[in-house]
Structure 1
Amino acid sequence: MPSKEDQILKVLTEDLQRLEDIHACMVARKNLEGIAPITEEFKKEVMEIWEILKKTMDDFFDVIAHYSEFGLDKVYFELGKFDVMFFILPGTDTALVAIVPALANRGLLEVEMENARRKIISIIEGK
C-alpha cells in the first residue's frame, strides 16, 4: 500500500496540478515544510516570483497557526498577477495551498480544492 505521503502527492498531481489554472499546489506549513510535487512541475510564471511568494506565504502561515483552532477555514491573498488560496486542514497549522492566476475562475477552483482537501483529510485520518 502506498504511504500517506504518496497518496497525498497523487491527489495533488492528479486532482489539482492537472488543472490549467493551478500553477502550483502543495500541502504545507510555515517554511513550506510539507508535501509538494517537484517544483520543476510548477508553471514557470510562478518560479519567477517564488522567493517573494515563499516569504509572503510564511507570514500567512503565522495567521493560520494562531486562528485555525477557532475555525479559520480558508485564506486568500493576491500577489501581483497571482492569487494564493489556503484551504486549512482543520485544527492544524497546515493547509492545502494553490497558486493560481488572479483572474482565474475562483468558484470552480474552490470546488476542486475542497474535494482535494476532503481526500487529504481522509488519507491523514486513515479512512
Structure 2
Amino acid sequence: MPNPTELTVHQKSRLLDIAFDDGAAFSIPFELMRVYSPSAEVKGHGPGQEVLQLGKREVGISGVEPVGNYAIKPLFDDGHATGIFSWDYLYKLGSEQRALWQQYLDRLRAAGFDEESGRAPGAALPGAPVRGGCGG
C-alpha cells in the first residue's frame, strides 16, 4: 500500500490534503472523515451496528496526532477523538469518496434526515480526487 508523502490540514476549507508515493493525491473533507470514522463510536462493534452521524457539516479538526508510522488520530472539534485513520484507510476514503458520499446521503435520506446533512436532496457531491495543488 502507498505511503503518504504530504499531509496538510486546511482549517478554513475543512479539507485534509494527502499525497502518496504512488502519485495519488486527495482532498478529503473533514465531514467525510468524521462520518466514516473508523472508531467503535461510529462503526459499532460489528456489522449492522453502524451509527449514522448527523449534523457534521461544519465539523473541524483542532489537531492531528501521529500514531506510529502507520496512521493519524484527528481531534475533531465536536469532541470525537477516538478514530485512528491508517494510511490505507485514508487512501480508501480519498479514492472512494464519491461513492462513500452517495452511501452517506442515501443513509440520511432513508432515515429522513436530509436537512441534518446540510445538503439539499440531489445536491452535488463534493470531493473528487485531485492531481496536484494543495487546495485550501
Same fold, judged at TM 0.5 (above): no
More helix by share: 1
- Rg larger for: 2
